[in-house]
């Protein structure tokens, strides 16, 4: 019988749970496999996952089209090994979350608020996804 390491539970938190945290959840599931259980939530969840977040992840071979924004309260009573805030607003609103053993803050600009042309907005989503992938890869190693 092989000893398998315990699955780490990681929760990503942002304001709307419609872009950064959803992309992070998808990336962590994809890169971490069975070593992690990835979740995401928002302090003020939006109506839907941003279409450009879905598109950006699809281009990386990751399907988040079935994801739905969720409030942090959905996870009340659950414990996590790590809580990662990915926006300054969520970091300020949630200075302490009793369900997490450890906490990190990865401040990233909100690609959903990026101005400009469609291509410039897409570039903002790609930039956020690249930054998340780098940090998640470091976290896993």
Tens-digit pLDDT profile for the chain (141 aa)? 455 566 899 999 999 999 999 999 999 999 999 999 999 999 999 999 999 999 999 999 999 999 999 999 999 899 999 999 998 776 666 556 667 788 999 999 999 999 999 999 999 999 999 999 999 999 998
d(CA 67, CA 105): 23
d(CA 20, CA 132): 8
Q: Which two tokens stand for residue 130?
A: 């690249």
21 has catalytic annotation: no
Contacts of 23 (CB under 8 A, 6+ apart): 53, 56, 57, 64, 125, 128, 129, 132
Residue 75 DSSP class: G
Q: In the chain, where are the structural domains located?
A: 8-140
> Which of the following is catalytic: 14, 36, 84, 100?
14
Q: Which CATH superfamily is domain 8-140 in?
A: Response regulator (3.40.50.2300)
> Which of the following is catalytic: 44, 94, 123, 139?
94
87 has catalytic annotation: yes
d(CA 108, CA 129): 10
pLDDT value, residue 17: 95
14 has catalytic annotation: yes
> Which of the following is catalytic: 87, 100, 108, 124?
87
């Amino acid at each position: 019988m092989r000893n398998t390491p315990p699955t780490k539970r990681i929760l990503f938190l942002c304001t709307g749970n419609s872009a950064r945290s959803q992309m992070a959840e998808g990336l962590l599931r994809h890169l971490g496999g069975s070593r992690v259980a990835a979740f995401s939530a928002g302090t003020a969840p939006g109506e839907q996952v941003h279409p450009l977040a879905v598109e950006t992840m699809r281009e990386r071979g990751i399907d988040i089209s079935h994801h739905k924004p969720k409030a942090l309260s959905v996870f009340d009573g659950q414990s996590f090994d790590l809580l990662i805030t990915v926006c300054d607003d969520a970091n300020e609103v949630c200075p302490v979350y009793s369900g997490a053993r450890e906490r990190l803050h990865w401040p990233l600009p909100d690609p959903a608020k990026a101005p400009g042309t469609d291509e410039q907005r897409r570039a903002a989503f790609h930039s956020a996804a690249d930054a998340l992938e780098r940090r998640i890869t470091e976290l896993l190693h």
